[in-house]
Amino acid sequence: MSTLTCIIVDDEPLAVRLLESYVEKTPDLTLLASFTDSINALNAVKEQKPDLLFLDIQMPNMDGMELAHSLPEETRVVFTTAFKEYAFESYEVNALDFLLKPIRYNKFIAAVDKARKLHTPQASTPQSETPNTVFIRVDGEWQNINIDDIVYVNGMKDYVLFYLDNQPKALITHLTMKAVEEMLPKEKFLRVHRSYIVAIDKISKVDHNDCIYIGEEIIHIPDGYLPAFRAFLETRTFKQP
């Protein structure tokens, strides 16, 4: 197990001491420094380049969100705050985790485990081929559908509707959206809404209101799904000179 290094930044001394106690009892996690001042903390982070930064958001001089925008690329942020309304903003800086105060040790260690998985090189394993078809139960029968024919999937309570190319009616089956999301290949499908999964290559356009046009449907992307969708768009658009 590789050792991770970390720095703690919080303007509340009691919060700092709590996190220090958590670091002390966590194997293979080394504390480099603790700060109650964000300016001094930023200088130390740039110099020491820790693997992890436990960072409060509401602080004087420079708040945690501003500090996070100035970090070395190799340092991952775990925000620690009493205000859950900052959770969405944390996507902007690709935060590793978002811990709400009062922070419990089990939540703390879960964040550290996330960092450890990113930090530890994964052994390469043979990849099994992605299947071309999936079976879904429709009207008591198992239908084998081609994954490439799926345009989008719409969840409605305990049922899921599969919309396919050249098929006027949706196929309705008793499933959850989570099960469908896990079943469909990530490189071909993207969840853009609590109730919608779309085939990436079937999207015809995305308008200025963050609406996806696909098949006969127009899907507005809610705020919670926008960061992931915009990150996807970055990988599929030409870079401006």
SS3 118: helix
| Mean pLDDT within 180-192 | 90
State whether the Cα torsion 183-185-186-188 is positive or negative.
negative
Q: What is the pLDDT of residue 126?
A: 47
pLDDT in tens, 108-145: 999 999 888 887 655 444 455 567 888 888 988 888 99
pLDDT beyond 50 at 76 = yes
- The pTM for the full model equals 0.50
Using CA atoms, how far residue 224 sits from 61, 92, 114, 163, in Å, is 29, 12, 21, 24
160 vs 58, which has greater pLDDT? 160
**pLDDT value at residue 124:** 43
Tokens of 182: 């896990």
pLDDT tens digits along 90-113:
445 567 888 888 999 999 999 999
Q: CA 216 to CA 210: how far, in whole Å? A: 17
Indicate the range of 2-11, 118-127, 149-158, 212-221 predicted with least confidence.
118-127
The pLDDT assigned to 120 comes to 67
Rounded distance between C-alpha atoms, residue 141 and residue 13, angstroms: 63
Lowest mean pLDDT, pick from 131-135, 196-200, 237-241: 237-241
Q: Confidence class of residue 194 from pLDDT cuts 50, 70 and 90?
A: very high
pLDDT at residue 74, rounded to an integer: 84
Partners of 138 in the β-ladder? 141
29-35 sheet: strands from edge to edge = 29-35, 4-9, 52-56, 76-81, 97-100
